[in-house]
Amino acid sequence: MKSFNERCYEVLMKVPKRRLTTYKEIARAIGTKAYRAVGTAMNKNPYSPKVPCHRVVNSNGEIGGFAFGVDKKIKMLKAEGVFIKNGKIADFEKVFYRFK
DNA sequence: CTAATGACATTTG
DNA sequence: ACAAATGCCATTA
């Protein structure tokens, strides 16, 4: 049986570039309501490039947090073509990736 | 085992 | 609309 964290990484890996997801959505994809714990898992994410932890934001469209600094996170997202407005995602609904 | 902690979310004032 | 309080669940000490 895989650990909670690995499950998070597994689903998060499915998120394509230029797309974003939320902590809650990831939890939902796994089949739990522990979105809080998802954040904890991301913080310790051992698979840095493989798992795009920077593509995870808050449900309200705000950036959220990042282990290496929020500014860094924003930078990376912008580099992928995601526009950010006032520390929030522009057209969040459009780029939001919902798991199936 | 108990307590403390956090990259969250929702409700309330 | 904004800030504070509450609830939440896995992880870690």
How open is the CA angle A59-A22-A66, to the nearest 5 degrees? 100
Using CA atoms, how far apart are residues A83 and A89, in angstroms rounded to an integer? 6
For residues A20-26, average pLDDT? 98
Using CA atoms, how far apart are residues A62 and A70, in angstroms rounded to an integer? 11
Model-level pTM? Answer: 0.95
The nucleotides of chain C lying under 7 Å from a protein CB are: 7-12
Backbone angles phi, psi at A23, to 5 degrees: -65, -40
Task: Give per-residue pLDDT as tens, A36-81.
Answer: 999 999 999 999 889 999 999 999 999 999 999 999 999 999 999 9
pLDDT in the model for residue A68: 95
Q: Is the pLDDT of residue A85 over 90?
A: yes
Using CA atoms, how far apart are residues A35 and A24, in angstroms rounded to an integer? 5
Of A7, A2, A72, nearest to A41 by C-alpha is: A7
Residues with CB under 7 A from strand B: A 22-24, 35-40, 42-43, 45, 53-54, 56, 58-60, 64-67, 73
pLDDT in the model for residue A63: 96
pLDDT in the model for residue A82: 97
